[in-house]
Amino acid sequence: MKKNKKLLSIVLTVIIVLSVCAVISATAAAVSVTRDLPDTPVSQEEEITVSLIQSGFLFNAGIVTETLPEGFTYVPDTTLTLAKPTPSPTPMPVTLIIGFKEEIPGGVLEKYGVLDINEALNCILVKAPEKEKVLAESLAEVKYVEKNKLVHVLYTPNDSYYPSQWGLKRINADKAWDIEKGSKNVTLAILDTGIDYGHEDLGNYAGSFDFVNNDSDPLDDHGHGTAVAGVAAAFIDNERGIAGIAQVDILVLKVLNETGWGTDWDVARAITYAANHSANVISMSFGGDSSALMEDACDYAWNNNSLLVAASGNGNSSVLFPAACHSVIAVGATDEDDERASYSNFGPELELVAPGNGIRTTHPDNSYTYYRGTSIATPHVSGVAALLKSKHAKLSNEKIRERLRTTAEDLGEEGKDDYYGYGMVNAYAALGIKFDTGPGTYPSIFGTHKGTITPSLDISVTKIYTYHCKGTGGHTEFVWIYGNGINESASWNGYTRDWHNISFDVPFVLKANLTYNYTIRTGSYPQIHHTDRLETDNGVITCISFKDVNGKIHYDGIPAIKLVNISLILKK
């Protein structure tokens, strides 16, 4: 029964395997959870028990041990050992720092009950009753009043099992948390087997619905959905369990049953439901065959500004749907050595990869277990996308997708490839970009185009990147930036196969948070073709990609005008 949580036992007999195969073969238009392979690491000290779970399939644990990462192995009777968690830091008493404009005034030491003095910086450390804070701020000689905050080398949550979450460190989530931990104004929809909403490490629900049973009670009777939710959005700093990537609200939508199977219909219903309920990110850790319905549902959500993320699949074959839909970010899995996991599906649709082996996460009944697979890699990307939306509320789904691509750490062959896509998702790099040209499309066809640009920090403008312009010849192109005291322009001839190195006559600065106008004139359809070969006396130079000053990587066929607007004329 759905309401009763069960302990699944793995019965490996030919009869049951044949029975499951028969059921699977008889299931029409079904979508299966991607096959996650739960890992069991061996460390030392305390022992805990973990249920080995295969998402929708019975399996022999011995089959998967050959691909376990170094230091991981299965233990008889599913018993494993794990190092005890690091003790939480001792709480500090709340104190205030009061800084003065000049020397510390007389009588202050007696008035505030000073704990310490720094005469060189004209400040004191005091106990922090609210009345003293108000009193201090009201004094004319006070320069500032602030809490005596803790400092740290990098943000580290105090969750018990955080030290064992290698995947978070690999995508630089710990560094990203120094910038953004998540906003309650952002909603992450998780389409899966439901969730154990009584779990100690999960909460912040923005709503829920069970599309399998058509009710509002999406209890997880499988375990997969609870695991996915934990990676993406488990509580942080609650002194227990694991740390989730983004502290955002979760919209729980059950589309898979207790065996890990569902239908395209239910999935499509859930996708449109999520979009209609303003889900900023939709995470899907399941896969199946191609479906026009799925394509339409994903397009619907995309057109409603939802970002969709899905698992590529665990069959070492082509990318499954919905990950293969053009409006969905397809996610593959890597191991601890940054190698593509042997099971991870691949192909031209693959966009990003994330850690997928030995990932510790939440499990029903207030427990925790280890998973591996593209299903568990996917919420790493979903969580980072939710962080981005939390930090930059006005970013569209298209902009978030672009930023995830351009800030990914390139793996495998240089540039985008079928096995790693654009590379490893990088939370810190994605959040760390300071310059954003704002909303709106960029011109990529001939004519005169106008718009505005508002930098988020001061930008020193010096020159445009030297590029190879393919045009029809005989026309003049120019860019003009003006407003808020700025009136600068540059122009060049757009002849076929000319190299250009365009500079403004005098360097200038665009100030942060001010809006400037731009006008760009193109006389043809110029494009930067980075794969063109440059003949030299000593051989041939071939450039296959270009990284601009913001770290954005561009590949062949990017319109030159788009590049100009984004960064080519705006150099830090």
Could you identify the residue written with the tokens 């609870």? 226
From the list 159, 192, 196, 436, the catalytic residue is 192
Give the sheet arrangement for strand 476-483, strand by strand.
447-453, 516-522, 476-483, 486-493
From the list 224, 363, 380, 530, the catalytic residue is 224
| Whole-angstrom distance, CA of residue 275 vs CA of residue 186 | 13
| Whole-angstrom distance, CA of residue 229 vs CA of residue 193 | 10
Could you identify the residue written with the tokens 């970002």? 307
Q: Quick one: which of 120, 101, 99, 124 has its CA closest to 111?
A: 124
Contact criterion met (CB below 8 Å) for 193 and 33 = yes
Q: What residues are paired with 318 via a beta bridge?
A: 346
Number of Cβ within 10 Å of residue 505's Cβ equals 8
The pair of three-digit structure tokens given for residue 210, joined into one six-digit string: 């069970």
Is 456 a catalytic site residue? no
Q: Quick one: which of 247, 227, 251, 222 has its CA closest to 237?
A: 247
Contact criterion met (CB below 8 Å) for 371 and 378 = no
Longest dimension (CA), the chain: 88
Could you identify the residue written with the tokens 């700093």? 237
Q: What residues are paired with 33 via a beta bridge?
A: 286
DSSP assignment string, 414-458:
SSSBTTTBT-B--HHHHHH------SS----SSEEEEEEE--SS-
- Residue 499: enclosing H or E segment and its boundaries? strand 498-500
569 residue type, one letter = I
Give me the count of residues in the chain. 572
- Residue 239: enclosing H or E segment and its boundaries? none
> Which residues contact residue 57 at a Cβ distance below 8 angstroms, ignoring those fewer than 6 apart?
20, 35, 260
What b/e sequence results for 377-408 when a residue is b if at least 16 CB atoms lie within 10 Å of its CB, and e otherwise? Answer: bbbbbbbbbbbbbbbbeebebebbbebbbbbb
| Whole-angstrom distance, CA of residue 346 vs CA of residue 332 | 7
Contact criterion met (CB below 8 Å) for 358 and 369 = no
Give the E-state strand segments of 183-279 in sequence order: 187-192, 205-210, 249-254, 261-263
> Which residues contact residue 89 at a Cβ distance below 8 angstroms, ignoring those fewer than 6 apart?
150, 158
Is 192 a catalytic site residue? yes
Chain CA centroid to CA 212, Å: 28
Contact criterion met (CB below 8 Å) for 481 and 565 = no
The pair of three-digit structure tokens given for residue 283, joined into one six-digit string: 């995470």
DSSP assignment string, 81-114:
E-PPPPPPPPPPPPEEEEEESSSPPTTHHHHHTE
From the list 375, 382, 390, 524, the catalytic residue is 375
Is 199 a catalytic site residue? no
Angle, helix 292-303 to helix 264-276, in steps of 10 degrees? 10
438 residue type, one letter = G
Catalytic residue numbers?
192, 224, 375
